[in-house]
Protein backbone atom coordinates (compact mmCIF):
# COMPACT_ATOMS: atom_id res chain seq x y z
CA UNK A 1 0.00 0.00 0.00
CA UNK A 2 2.83 2.40 0.83
CA UNK A 3 4.34 1.78 -2.60
CA UNK A 4 0.99 2.36 -4.32
CA UNK A 5 0.41 5.63 -2.48
CA UNK A 6 3.93 6.80 -3.26
CA UNK A 7 3.56 5.96 -6.95
CA UNK A 8 0.17 7.67 -7.24
CA UNK A 9 1.53 10.77 -5.51
CA UNK A 10 4.50 10.87 -7.89
CA UNK A 11 2.20 10.55 -10.89
CA UNK A 12 -0.05 13.31 -9.62
CA UNK A 13 2.87 15.64 -9.07
CA UNK A 14 4.17 14.96 -12.54
CA UNK A 15 0.76 15.71 -14.05
CA UNK A 16 0.57 19.05 -12.27
CA UNK A 17 4.06 20.01 -13.36
CA UNK A 18 5.46 19.97 -9.82
CA UNK A 19 8.79 18.13 -9.56
CA UNK A 20 8.17 14.68 -8.12
CA UNK A 21 10.45 12.71 -5.83
CA UNK A 22 11.64 15.83 -4.02
CA UNK A 23 15.15 15.32 -2.73
CA UNK A 24 15.73 12.44 -5.15
CA UNK A 25 18.15 12.39 -8.04
CA UNK A 26 17.32 13.53 -11.52
CA UNK A 27 18.01 10.01 -12.81
CA UNK A 28 15.35 8.53 -10.55
CA UNK A 29 12.79 11.13 -11.60
CA UNK A 30 13.54 10.60 -15.29
CA UNK A 31 13.36 6.84 -14.83
CA UNK A 32 9.87 7.10 -13.30
CA UNK A 33 8.78 9.30 -16.21
CA UNK A 34 10.15 6.84 -18.75
CA UNK A 35 8.48 3.90 -17.01
CA UNK A 36 5.07 5.52 -16.63
CA UNK A 37 5.02 7.38 -19.95
CA UNK A 38 4.28 10.72 -18.33
CA UNK A 39 6.09 13.61 -19.99
CA UNK A 40 6.90 11.53 -23.07
CA UNK A 41 6.60 8.06 -24.58
CA UNK A 42 6.87 5.03 -22.31
CA UNK A 43 10.33 3.53 -22.62
CA UNK A 44 11.15 0.61 -20.36
CA UNK A 45 14.70 0.21 -21.66
CA UNK A 46 15.47 3.83 -20.83
CA UNK A 47 13.82 3.43 -17.44
CA UNK A 48 16.05 0.46 -16.70
CA UNK A 49 19.21 2.34 -17.66
CA UNK A 50 18.26 5.34 -15.53
CA UNK A 51 17.29 3.18 -12.54
CA UNK A 52 20.74 1.59 -12.76
CA UNK A 53 22.33 5.03 -12.52
CA UNK A 54 20.02 6.01 -9.67
CA UNK A 55 20.95 2.84 -7.76
CA UNK A 56 24.62 3.79 -8.05
CA UNK A 57 23.78 7.15 -6.53
CA UNK A 58 22.31 5.49 -3.45
CA UNK A 59 18.61 5.74 -4.35
CA UNK A 60 17.21 2.65 -2.61
CA UNK A 61 13.84 2.97 -4.40
CA UNK A 62 15.68 2.12 -7.62
CA UNK A 63 16.33 -1.41 -6.32
CA UNK A 64 12.62 -2.14 -6.19
CA UNK A 65 11.91 -0.74 -9.63
CA UNK A 66 14.82 -2.64 -11.17
CA UNK A 67 13.51 -5.81 -9.58
CA UNK A 68 9.99 -5.17 -10.87
CA UNK A 69 11.17 -4.48 -14.44
CA UNK A 70 13.36 -7.58 -14.45
CA UNK A 71 10.72 -9.83 -12.89
CA UNK A 72 8.16 -8.85 -15.54
CA UNK A 73 10.55 -8.56 -18.50
CA UNK A 74 10.01 -4.85 -19.09
CA UNK A 75 12.95 -3.38 -21.00
CA UNK A 76 15.17 -6.36 -20.21
CA UNK A 77 14.63 -10.14 -20.46
CA UNK A 78 12.61 -11.53 -17.57
CA UNK A 79 14.87 -13.18 -15.00
CA UNK A 80 13.54 -14.23 -11.62
CA UNK A 81 16.99 -14.67 -10.09
CA UNK A 82 18.17 -11.18 -11.05
CA UNK A 83 14.86 -9.72 -9.86
CA UNK A 84 15.29 -11.47 -6.52
CA UNK A 85 18.78 -10.02 -6.29
CA UNK A 86 17.40 -6.49 -6.69
CA UNK A 87 14.56 -7.05 -4.21
CA UNK A 88 17.10 -8.43 -1.73
CA UNK A 89 19.16 -5.25 -2.03
CA UNK A 90 16.01 -3.19 -1.61
CA UNK A 91 14.98 -5.08 1.50
CA UNK A 92 18.46 -4.70 2.96
CA UNK A 93 18.20 -0.94 2.36
CA UNK A 94 14.96 -0.90 4.36
CA UNK A 95 12.37 -0.90 1.57
CA UNK A 96 9.24 -2.61 2.93
CA UNK A 97 7.71 -3.43 -0.45
CA UNK A 98 10.93 -5.09 -1.63
CA UNK A 99 10.91 -7.15 1.56
CA UNK A 100 7.30 -8.23 1.01
CA UNK A 101 7.97 -9.29 -2.59
CA UNK A 102 11.12 -11.11 -1.50
CA UNK A 103 9.17 -13.04 1.13
CA UNK A 104 6.90 -14.38 -1.62
CA UNK A 105 9.64 -15.15 -4.12
CA UNK A 106 12.30 -16.49 -1.77
CA UNK A 107 16.01 -15.69 -1.79
CA UNK A 108 17.57 -18.97 -2.90
CA UNK A 109 17.98 -18.07 -6.59
CA UNK A 110 19.24 -14.49 -6.15
CA UNK A 111 21.68 -13.37 -8.86
CA UNK A 112 23.59 -10.15 -9.51
CA UNK A 113 22.59 -8.06 -12.52
CA UNK A 114 25.82 -7.86 -14.53
CA UNK A 115 24.30 -5.29 -16.94
CA UNK A 116 24.23 -2.67 -14.20
CA UNK A 117 27.58 -1.50 -12.75
CA UNK A 118 28.21 -2.79 -9.27
CA UNK A 119 30.04 0.34 -8.10
CA UNK A 120 30.46 4.04 -8.86
CA UNK A 121 32.88 5.01 -11.61
CA UNK A 122 35.52 6.36 -9.23
CA UNK A 123 38.74 8.14 -10.13
CA UNK A 124 40.61 5.31 -11.90
CA UNK A 125 37.95 3.08 -13.45
CA UNK A 126 38.83 -0.07 -15.36
CA UNK A 127 37.88 -0.08 -19.06
CA UNK A 128 35.17 -2.69 -18.46
CA UNK A 129 33.48 -0.43 -15.90
CA UNK A 130 33.75 2.57 -18.23
CA UNK A 131 32.07 0.49 -20.95
CA UNK A 132 29.18 -0.31 -18.60
CA UNK A 133 28.67 3.36 -17.81
CA UNK A 134 28.85 4.32 -21.48
CA UNK A 135 26.20 1.72 -22.28
CA UNK A 136 23.88 3.39 -19.77
CA UNK A 137 24.70 7.02 -20.58
CA UNK A 138 25.29 7.21 -24.34
CA UNK A 139 21.62 6.65 -25.29
CA UNK A 140 20.73 9.73 -23.22
CA UNK A 141 22.76 11.72 -25.74
CA UNK A 142 21.36 9.81 -28.76
CA UNK A 143 24.79 8.27 -29.29
CA UNK A 144 25.81 4.71 -30.10
CA UNK A 145 27.85 3.39 -27.14
CA UNK A 146 30.22 1.70 -29.59
CA UNK A 147 31.08 5.05 -31.14
CA UNK A 148 31.70 6.65 -27.75
CA UNK A 149 34.00 3.78 -26.76
CA UNK A 150 35.91 4.12 -30.04
CA UNK A 151 36.43 7.82 -29.34
CA UNK A 152 37.61 7.09 -25.78
CA UNK A 153 40.07 4.51 -27.08
CA UNK A 154 41.46 6.93 -29.66
CA UNK A 155 41.58 9.88 -27.28
CA UNK A 156 42.96 8.47 -24.04
CA UNK A 157 42.95 4.67 -24.27
CA UNK A 158 40.68 4.71 -21.18
CA UNK A 159 43.20 6.59 -19.01
CA UNK A 160 41.38 9.21 -16.88
CA UNK A 161 44.73 10.83 -16.07
CA UNK A 162 45.73 11.31 -19.71
CA UNK A 163 46.83 14.79 -20.71
CA UNK A 164 47.78 15.89 -24.20
CA UNK A 165 50.57 18.36 -25.06
CA UNK A 166 47.83 20.86 -25.95
CA UNK A 167 46.18 20.53 -22.54
CA UNK A 168 43.30 18.13 -23.28
CA UNK A 169 42.38 16.16 -20.17
CA UNK A 170 40.83 12.85 -19.23
CA UNK A 171 39.11 9.89 -20.86
CA UNK A 172 37.68 11.83 -23.78
CA UNK A 173 40.44 14.46 -23.74
CA UNK A 174 38.39 17.58 -23.11
CA UNK A 175 39.97 20.97 -23.53
CA UNK A 176 39.19 23.24 -20.56
CA UNK A 177 37.18 25.66 -22.72
CA UNK A 178 35.11 22.78 -24.15
CA UNK A 179 34.49 21.43 -20.66
CA UNK A 180 33.27 24.85 -19.52
CA UNK A 181 31.10 25.18 -22.62
CA UNK A 182 29.24 21.98 -21.79
CA UNK A 183 28.87 22.53 -18.06
CA UNK A 184 31.67 20.32 -16.74
CA UNK A 185 32.61 21.65 -13.31
CA UNK A 186 35.43 19.20 -12.59
CA UNK A 187 37.23 18.13 -15.76
CA UNK A 188 39.35 15.68 -13.75
CA UNK A 189 36.31 13.71 -12.57
CA UNK A 190 35.93 10.73 -14.95
CA UNK A 191 32.14 10.77 -14.93
CA UNK A 192 31.85 14.51 -15.56
CA UNK A 193 34.53 14.24 -18.23
CA UNK A 194 32.60 11.48 -20.01
CA UNK A 195 29.37 13.45 -19.85
CA UNK A 196 31.04 16.54 -21.25
CA UNK A 197 32.59 14.56 -24.09
CA UNK A 198 29.28 12.95 -24.97
CA UNK A 199 27.51 16.31 -24.83
CA UNK A 200 30.05 17.67 -27.31
CA UNK A 201 29.62 14.65 -29.60
CA UNK A 202 25.86 15.13 -29.51
CA UNK A 203 26.22 18.80 -30.40
CA UNK A 204 28.59 18.00 -33.25
CA UNK A 205 26.18 15.36 -34.53
CA UNK A 206 23.45 17.96 -34.88
CA UNK A 207 25.80 20.62 -36.19
CA UNK A 208 27.14 18.40 -38.97
CA UNK A 209 23.89 16.60 -39.78
CA UNK A 210 25.08 13.20 -38.63
CA UNK A 211 28.08 13.08 -41.02
CA UNK A 212 30.45 10.88 -39.03
CA UNK A 213 33.79 12.02 -40.58
CA UNK A 214 32.88 15.67 -39.94
CA UNK A 215 31.69 14.91 -36.40
CA UNK A 216 34.97 13.19 -35.57
CA UNK A 217 37.06 15.86 -37.28
CA UNK A 218 35.20 18.49 -35.27
CA UNK A 219 35.87 16.61 -32.04
CA UNK A 220 39.58 16.38 -32.85
CA UNK A 221 40.28 19.74 -34.48
CA UNK A 222 37.26 21.85 -33.57
CA UNK A 223 34.17 22.67 -35.56
CA UNK A 224 35.69 25.93 -36.80
CA UNK A 225 38.52 24.07 -38.53
CA UNK A 226 35.99 21.84 -40.29
CA UNK A 227 34.07 24.92 -41.43
CA UNK A 228 37.27 26.64 -42.59
CA UNK A 229 38.20 23.74 -44.87
CA UNK A 230 34.62 22.79 -45.72
CA UNK A 231 35.34 19.22 -44.69
CA UNK A 232 37.92 17.19 -42.79
CA UNK A 233 40.92 19.52 -42.29
CA UNK A 234 44.14 18.53 -44.07
CA UNK A 235 45.90 17.84 -40.77
CA UNK A 236 47.74 14.51 -40.64
CA UNK A 237 46.66 13.91 -37.04
CA UNK A 238 43.00 14.68 -37.71
CA UNK A 239 42.77 12.59 -40.87
CA UNK A 240 44.46 9.65 -39.17
CA UNK A 241 42.14 10.07 -36.19
CA UNK A 242 39.03 10.04 -38.36
CA UNK A 243 40.19 6.99 -40.35
CA UNK A 244 41.05 5.08 -37.19
CA UNK A 245 37.69 5.60 -35.50
CA UNK A 246 35.60 5.08 -38.64
CA UNK A 247 37.48 1.82 -39.30
CA UNK A 248 36.98 0.56 -35.73
CA UNK A 249 33.35 1.64 -35.62
CA UNK A 250 32.59 0.01 -38.98
CA UNK A 251 34.36 -3.19 -37.93
CA UNK A 252 32.17 -3.42 -34.85
CA UNK A 253 29.00 -2.57 -36.75
CA UNK A 254 27.41 -6.00 -36.64
Q: What are the residue numbers of the active site?
A: 155
Distance from C-alpha of 137 to C-alpha of 131, rounded to nearest angstrom: 10
CA dist., res. 237 & res. 16, Å (int): 53
Backbone angles phi, psi at 59, to 5 degrees: -80, 100
| CA–CA distances in Å: residue 153 to residues 37, 173, 192 | 36, 11, 17
Q: What is the 3-state secondary structure (H, E, C) of 46-102?
A: HHHHHHHHHHHCCCCHHHHHHHHHHHHCCCCCCCHHHHHHHHHHHHHCCCHHHHHHH
Distance between CA atoms of residues 100 and 143, nearest Å: 39
The DSSP 8-state label assigned to residue 139 in this structure reads G
Q: How far apart are alpha carbons 195 and 178 in whole angstroms?
A: 12
String of DSSP letters for 73-86:
TSSS---HHHHHHH
Which one, of 181, 204, 194, lies nearest residue 120 by Cα? 194
Amino acid sequence: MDRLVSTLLSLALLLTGVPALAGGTDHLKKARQAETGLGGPRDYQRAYRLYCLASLEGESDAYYYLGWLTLHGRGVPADRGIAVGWFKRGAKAGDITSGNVLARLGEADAKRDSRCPSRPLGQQPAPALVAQYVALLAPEYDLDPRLVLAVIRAESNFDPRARSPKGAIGLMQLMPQTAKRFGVKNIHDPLQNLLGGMAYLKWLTGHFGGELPLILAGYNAGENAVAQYNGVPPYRETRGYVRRIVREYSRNDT
